A and B are shown apart, each in its own frame.
Chain A
């Protein structure tokens, strides 16, 4: 008696026969027939033709039959919307049934019928069920709201179901609370801006209570919801942590990981000196380790998350190295993840064990795994200096095995070891050279060529070796070609006498026979360097290289912080923020860790305040041209463990040195020489620019200058507070914020440079694109010491207005390029126009009258300055502080009229008439008329007025 009998068919045609059975009088036969229909449906057979016959069976007392019919309905209602209406009556009736099971079943099924037409019929029954006396019905109804929202969001909002749902968060039954939270979370995901889950301490308390009593799945929903809450202080954070900690012992791993997320996030707010902080750290380790004894699929997700946790707080798992040792029958995806974490946990204390393991792995069968293990040995050497020697000898042992891919990987990592410890392990070069012929992968060939070029003076036959590569120059990949070019130039500079022919050969190959612009450009650069000044060439090409950093493959701190907020989600598996991969433009809200209270650590990262407003105000960043320059400067010695920032540091430094301070001239020639480039590369996206304007003008710091302005001295004009111009995420960890000021006749750009990357930054330089008023740095950017990670430096950069002029749109747009040892970054910002108002902008009265009449009326522009309740004297003294001078004051019909003048740095005069109504307190708007021969500046002058007067 199994269900497989339902699959047997007869010759006559299945559908026909089923139809007859469904219309049979016998209950039993009917039920059997419906079962057959369901069975066909499960295997994907189309039985939609039976729709009316099945729906006819719906009105029955038999619960099983009812359920079966419902199953069918859910599947096919969409394809038969007109027929589905037939079912509505039964649903409405069932929602009144005395049996809560039937009521719940009806409301559940209703929501699954995804037919727009019938949704409106469902509102009344749903409303009733949301208030049902039985919690089982309420919790089912809560989910139904989410279903309905998916079909018709507007309807749900209009009917006020969202509010009812919010009320259910305070329900007395924990299961109802959990389902309400789950439904709200799902709805909120499609409406990121709606404050559906606006939590306050009271609702948090409700959730925490429900957390202890609801099902495991409900706990997951509640914990995920809690993680979005921002506690108001560290005490609240601690009390939430205390109540969440017991979830770490739950048997369901998803509950455990969601709890870990809440703890990791709120821990950020706790002071490190707190005893509780230490306790919490200790409590986190065991549950994480336990996740690794679960099924491999769970292990994989757990490992991806542990990878993040270990980067954020390595202290949690530092004693648990052994649990990450690989078992030979682990699935490959688990093996690779374990290996990654082993390297992260490697330290002087455990390096011996780790190395022994890695050596073991290097003899396994799986090629990908073996390769990664070999690379891991190299990473150990770079990370733990004491182990370097042992690592090198292990690598040499592996090279002796002559297994092709092992040898190639080993050579790639040995190159990195040479970079990290120069002049220490060169004795192994001979062994490496023996394996030259077996290298067939570009990366390994490039690494070997780099080694030969770098140590050309110690390798007797370096020229022969490199020459042998040159034979097949055009068949090599770009990486190898570029490397070969550089290596031969190095060789030439070291042994000029014997290798002149070789270098000429490679330069002509690169510049004349190659189609690759990168290769050609680099060839020309070398060629000119060598032909104009060989000594300088030597200094540049053979310059001492900066050391490479210890940690590799680390996630950028800003991204890591964001990912920590996504522990347990798909984002944590992919190590990308959801905005990077979630389909559609759902406008994912960026999450960020809460700032630590009561400690001086840098709490003001740009995205620490997750207000949507701030996000919109972020200035425009221009990435396009940076890539181009980056390519040009790149030496293409792709390091094996390529995290983007490291790739830059280990490789490009030489390249930046190569061009030395020449960047400025390079930039200038680029911009000047090709207007097309200046146009396309430097144009800021339109909508972002005005948004940036709001920030410098909008907030209050100017009060400070009120006083001085009132006295009427020439001390300085209004300065807007600093805003972030270049967020760290867009500039490989460099964050720039700043503002503009004018003090005693000189313009300054006040900058704060913050290093949010993991490596030291140095060699800063700044350059402006041509702009409307010829603003240019009057002195180079002076950053005296290299900028260490997490440090920031304040700089006041004096500006002059003698640079070249190009009209920008908007007029006050300024495009800036900043260079450091990592890369070149671009951003654009808007400067307030009043920094250009000069001190001698006071016009003679007669002159004013004459000019006012002289300027045609169509050049006059009218503006309103809203909500300014200052009187005429306060206004004029405030404006004088920013070099807007009052020439005359009149009183006409109870209104004060101020006549003012100002002059821009480029000699343009602007005349103003300002109308103030002091007698009428309810009318606080000022009316401003501006007259100027260049009317396009009027708007910006008005903005300056507005900013000065409101601060």
Chain B
């Protein structure tokens, strides 16, 4: 099971260590640093590294490496999932998962880690249980604590720990009872040179914010549940009901959580809401090239495409770029060679365009590779897959909750090859 955890920042300092069994020397991280050096780019550090005595399984999140030390045969996915859960918990507790936040709350972090894992076995990873055991820091609480001498560690057994619904605590009480669902869809796509779709699929999630008193039992139904053929559920969902009736039936956790995530597979046709016209060329034996990109809307069901940002990793030989944007602003970082163009909203009448000259290092050979364009965008009030919530019913409680559904479509890994 998980033996130890080291948190390492980008400059290679180990700023926190926690051991659940015997203490493992920090020097074990040297193998990690070695791999990190070899990988050059931080993102390319392999997640599983074997050393003579241990295995190091790591994740990279928010500029921090979470490196766990394993001594026996353990499912690596289990470790990776757990590490992400640790990062999520920090995010949840401190608002951000950063080195400063962790250092500022080091005792709470330590208490949390102790509570999450026992002898390498996960103990309590549900946010609501943890919050009952260890209260998140707030300014008010620390003031109150210092006056009354009370602590921020709960001294009763969390109610959810052992019930069949560990994700919900008992005795939740709200004056305003609300249930909100955000249907968020991301389009992952690869568009080739000529503008045809090589690959496209939709990754969707339904994130919920439920603030309901007592033990509400909810049923969420869809107009077109057939779209959902590949779904991952929050443990609260009753799988049998879904199998037989295609209804999401569940007793929700309290607060924010991800209800389901789903994938609309590449077999279905995915509507691509934008198109890109591009001309990027480098002349042979000259130190310049041309760059001309236009973005336009397509098939967006009458909704506006907004928040458009294009980023391009230009080839190494590019020194500088002299461009003019008809809309928005652009930056080019000559060190990382990243061109970023913040376009904003697309109006179909006047398509945004960015064009100009690319300056190359003189004498360098013409770049072989063509840069891919990475596009981000957002469309409000639209789920591009066509998924629609039909209704939400509540059983088990008497009050009338306030209900709301919001749809949003975003670009995920949306790449245009040139």
Contact = CB atoms under 8 A, between A and B. Distances in A.
Interface in A266-302: 286-287, 289-290, 293, 295-298, 300-302
Contacts of B41: 331
A425 B322 CA distance: 48
Interface of A: 1-4, 6-7, 27-28, 31, 35, 38-39, 42-44, 62-65, 67-68, 71, 75, 78, 99-101, 104, 108, 111-112, 114, 134-136, 139-140, 143-144, 146-147, 150, 173-175, 179, 182-183, 186, 189, 213, 215-217, 220, 224, 246, 249-254, 256-258, 286-287, 289-290, 293, 295-298, 300-302, 319-320, 322-323, 325, 327-329, 331-333, 353, 356-357, 360, 363-365, 401, 403, 568-571, 573-574, 578, 581-583
A67 B203 contact: no
B50 A574 contact: yes
Contact of B157 (A71, A99, A114, A253): A99
B229 A136 contact: no
Contacts of B139: 1
B395 interface: no
Contact of B372 (A216, A287, A328): A328
Contacts of A2: 104-105
Q: Is the interface of A mostly helix, strand, loop or mixed?
A: helix
B35 to A, nearest CB: 11
A252 B104 CA distance: 30
A253 B121 contact: no
A62 B413 CA distance: 50
Contacts of B109: 42
A243 to B, nearest CB: 11
A182 B78 CA distance: 13
Given A44-B14, A101-B155, A363-B369, A286 B229 contact: yes
A403 B53 CA distance: 41
A323 B266 contact: yes
Q: How large is the interface on B (under 10, 10 to 19, 20 to 34, 35 or more residues)?
A: 35 or more
Contacts of B415: 327-329
Nearest to B106: A3
A873 B156 CA distance: 83
B190 A220 contact: no
Interface of B: 1, 14-23, 26, 39, 41, 43-44, 46-48, 50, 52-53, 55, 58-60, 70-78, 80-82, 84, 103-111, 114, 118-119, 121-122, 125-126, 139, 142-143, 146, 149, 151-157, 161-162, 164, 166, 188, 190, 192, 198-199, 201, 203, 229-235, 239, 243, 258, 261, 263, 265-267, 313, 315-316, 368-370, 372, 374, 413, 415, 417
A302 B110 CA distance: 31
A44 B369 contact: no
30 contacts: A3-B104, A3-B105, A7-B103, A27-B149, A44-B17, A63-B153, A64-B151, A75-B23, A99-B155, A112-B119, A136-B157, A143-B119, A224-B75, A249-B231, A250-B233, A250-B235, A254-B80, A286-B263, A287-B232, A293-B263, A300-B47, A322-B198, A356-B198, A364-B369, A365-B315, A570-B74, A581-B50, A582-B72, A583-B52, A583-B71
Nearest to B78: A254
Contact of B73 (A44, A68, A323, A570): A570
With a 10 A CB-CB cut-off, give which of B80, B82, B104, B149 has the most chain A CB atoms: B80
Contact of B1 (A139, A186, A289): A186
B237 to A, nearest CB: 9
A327 B415 CA distance: 8
Given A220-B75, A570-B55, A325 B190 contact: yes
Contact of A213 (B23, B164, B369): B164
B77 A253 contact: yes
Contacts of B20: 112
Contact of B21 (A6, A44, A150): A150
A116 to B, nearest CB: 13
Contacts of B190: 325, 327
Given A3-B106, A135-B162, A217 B78 contact: yes
A301 B110 contact: no
A194 B143 CA distance: 56
A896 B115 CA distance: 78
Contact of A298 (B22, B81, B108, B263): B81
Contacts, number: 254
Contacts of B77: 253-254, 257, 298, 301-302, 568
B353 to A, nearest CB: 23
Contacts of A333: 44, 46-47
A276 B152 CA distance: 53
A293 B84 contact: no
A189 B72 contact: yes
Given A179-B121, A215-B122, A250-B233, A297 B59 contact: yes
Contact of A323 (B71, B199, B234): B199
A38 to B, nearest CB: 6
Given A44-B17, A251-B233, A246 B239 contact: yes
B119 A215 contact: no
A295 B111 CA distance: 27
A146 B120 CA distance: 11
Given A63-B151, A99-B157, A186-B1, A568 B119 contact: no
A143 B103 contact: no
A602 B261 CA distance: 42
Contacts of A249: 231-233, 239
B46 A329 contact: no
B107 A3 contact: yes
Given A38-B110, A78-B22, A570-B48, A100 B157 contact: yes
A290 B232 contact: yes
Contacts of A64: 151-153
Contacts of B239: 246, 249
Contacts of B233: 249-251
Nearest to A292: B263
B413 A257 contact: no
B41 to A, nearest CB: 8
A28 B372 contact: no
A68 B234 CA distance: 33
A101 B74 CA distance: 29
B59 A360 contact: no
B107 A35 contact: yes
